[in-house]
Structure 1
């Protein structure tokens, strides 16, 4: 039976909250770093704008390709696509997270395979679309595209394979509002462990 509109919107809002929580925790952790420490992915995480997300493991962002991502040809550097895709595809796992699986930052990258189809001029705002194609307890695969806003141009595509990894304790200690929702849904006790399973 198809999902009713109110249920579909509630799921969309829940998925978006799960994705936003990753950004909130990232920014809180980043603020704890020394002032002269600049993380490689910070520019991406500061500037990606969430457009949509789904409980099926889908997410969409918009991102302005600024001169920070450029090469000498005044187009986006191929290496910049790597970090942009790494962060945007990882977020697709947020709505699918379970205790011990695909929590904050969705594990670690195993492979990130990018196909470059067309150069992205600096000053272009792109649409990043990601979808989880396969997810298990230890491995996941996410596909993504970087497109023009009107969807007529696909600049590059990605296939991102991830391996689940535990959240580091100092990262888990940084709390965001989503943690309470997540713990209530999955029956997680404060300090770790579960007292019931949603499954």
Structure 2
């Protein structure tokens, strides 16, 4: 049976990706452009999200920091970063952080969320510069445990935190990179 029928990336694509440095893998994900894609996730990844730091602490543990500015597009009626936007941003960023480890097969596509819990502590007003620390606590063959902390860049005050659990799945047959 072909690789595509198994739902995996072609071996040459997977090998190329796995040979990149952790920073290169994350930058590769962030550099994907979809100019006509109006989704919130595309706008955040393409325009706001900036990689700040990558630390690979073990073969199953990494720590990645992103930075972004709270834009009006992501705010609620009170002018603060919307809670739903924060949950989506945590989902995206913690999943991208997994690429620092570069596991074979299933994890290249980031898997799927099993549980995402966000705790909100204080508002983040429009214009605020934020840091998003993503801790890939453990990434096994089929399950991963991730944590995220969103902070004000100016003073390190915590805005919100998340616990994110993921499961590895094959890439959808016919899915194009």
Q: TM-score, normalised by structure 1?
A: 0.71
**Whole-Å Cα distance in 2 between the matches of residues 74 and 49 of structure 1?**
22
- Among 133, 140, 145, the alignment partner of 1:141 is 145
**Shift of the alpha carbon at 1:131?**
0.8
- Among 151, 162, 167, the alignment partner of 2:166 is 162
Mark the CA change 1:165 to 1:53 in structure 2 (over 3 Å): closer, same or farther: same
* Partner in structure 2 of residue 42 of structure 1: 42
Unaligned residue ranges in structure 2 (runs of 5+): 1-19
**Whole-Å Cα distance in 2 between the matches of residues 159 and 59 of structure 1?**
15
Between the two structures, name the one with larger relative contact order (CA 8 Å, sep ≥ 6).
Answer: 2
**Whole-Å Cα distance in 1 between the matches of residues 174 and 132 of structure 2?**
30
1:15 maps to 2:19: no
Contact 1:59 1:130 in 2 (8 A): yes
* Alignment root-mean-square deviation, CA: 1.8
Contact 1:19 1:95 in 2 (8 A): yes
Unaligned residue ranges in structure 1 (runs of 5+): 1-12, 175-199
**Whole-Å Cα distance in 2 between the matches of residues 151 and 61 of structure 1?**
16
**Whole-Å Cα distance in 2 between the matches of residues 151 and 18 of structure 1?**
30
* Partner in structure 1 of residue 98 of structure 2: 93
Query: Which one has the largest radius of gyration?
Result: 1
**Shift of the alpha carbon at 1:150?**
3.8
Superposed CA deviations along residues 17-71 of structure 1, whole A, max 9, x for unmatched, are: 11112223x42xx34xxx4x52231121111001011223211111111000111
**Whole-Å Cα distance in 2 between the matches of residues 170 and 126 of structure 1?**
37
Q: TM-score, normalised by structure 2?
A: 0.79
Greater strand share, structure number: 2
Superposed CA deviations along residues 93-129 of structure 1, whole A, max 9, x for unmatched, are: 102222213103x111111100000011111010000
* Partner in structure 2 of residue 116 of structure 1: 120
Contact 1:44 1:87 in 2 (8 A): no
